[in-house]
A = this chain, B = another copy of it.
Amino acid sequence: MQIEKTVVGVKAQVRAWKKEGLSVGLVPTMGYLHEGHKSLIERAVKENDKVVVSVFVNPTQFGPTEDLESYPRDLNADRILCEEAGAALIFAPEASEMYAENFTTYVNTSGVTAELCGKSRPIHFRGVCTVVNKLFNIATPDRAYFGEKDAQQLAVIRRMVRDLNMNVEIVGCPIIRETDGLAKSSRNTYLSPEERQAALVLSRAIKVGKAMVQSGEKDGEKVLDEMKRIISQEPLARIDYVEMVKWDTIEIHHRVDGPILVAIAVFIGKTRLIDNFIQE
Residues on A facing B (Cβ under 8 Å): 7, 11, 100, 102-112, 129-130, 133-134, 137-138, 140, 159-160, 162-167, 249
- Let me know if B164 and A7 touch, CB within 8 A: no
Report which of B102, B105, B109, B140 forms a contact with A105, defined as CB distance below 8 A.
B109
- Let me know if B159 and A104 touch, CB within 8 A: yes
Chain B residues whose C-beta falls within 8 Å of the C-beta of A163 in the assembled complex: 100, 103-105, 134
> In the bound complex, what is the Cα–Cα distance between A62 and B134 (angstroms)?
27
Extra 5 A-B pairs, beta carbons < 8 Å, given A103-B163, A106-B107, A130-B164: A104-B159, A108-B108, A133-B164, A134-B165, A137-B164
> In the bound complex, what is the Cα–Cα distance between A166 and B94 (angstroms)?
19
Evaluate whether A134 and B100 lie within 8 angstroms (CB atoms) in the complex, with A107-B106, A107-B107 already known. Answer: no
Chain B residues whose C-beta falls within 8 Å of the C-beta of A164 in the assembled complex: 105, 107, 130, 133-134, 137
- Let me know if A137 and B106 touch, CB within 8 A: no
Identify the interface centre among A7, A105, A110, A111: most chain B CB within 10 Å of its CB. A105
Residue of B nearest to A139 (CB): B165
Residue of B nearest to A168 (CB): B137
> In the bound complex, what is the Cα–Cα distance between A7 and B162 (angstroms)?
11
Q: What is the minimal beta-carbon distance from A151 to any residue of chain B, in angstroms?
A: 17
> In the bound complex, what is the Cα–Cα distance between A96 and B134 (angstroms)?
26
Residue of B nearest to A108 (CB): B106
Residue of B nearest to A162 (CB): B100
Chain B residues whose C-beta falls within 8 Å of the C-beta of A112 in the assembled complex: 104
| 25 pairs from A and B in contact (CB 8 Å cutoff) | A7-B165, A11-B165, A100-B162, A103-B163, A104-B109, A104-B111, A104-B159, A104-B163, A105-B107, A105-B108, A105-B109, A105-B160, A105-B164, A106-B109, A106-B110, A107-B107, A107-B164, A108-B108, A130-B164, A134-B163, A134-B164, A134-B165, A137-B166, A137-B167, A138-B165
- Let me know if B165 and A137 touch, CB within 8 A: yes
- Let me know if B134 and A105 touch, CB within 8 A: no
> In the bound complex, what is the Cα–Cα distance between A130 and B163 (angstroms)?
9
Chain B residues whose C-beta falls within 8 Å of the C-beta of A133 in the assembled complex: 164
Chain B residues whose C-beta falls within 8 Å of the C-beta of A167 in the assembled complex: 11, 137, 140
Q: What is the minimal beta-carbon distance from A7 to any residue of chain B, in angstroms?
A: 6
Residue of B nearest to A129 (CB): B105
Residue of B nearest to A114 (CB): B104
Q: What is the minimal beta-carbon distance from A8 to any residue of chain B, in angstroms?
A: 10
> In the bound complex, what is the Cα–Cα distance between A105 and B160 (angstroms)?
6
Residue of B nearest to A18 (CB): B18
> In the bound complex, what is the Cα–Cα distance between A108 and B133 (angstroms)?
13
* Top 5 closest pairs, chain A to chain B, by CB: A105-B163, A104-B111, A137-B165, A105-B109, A104-B110
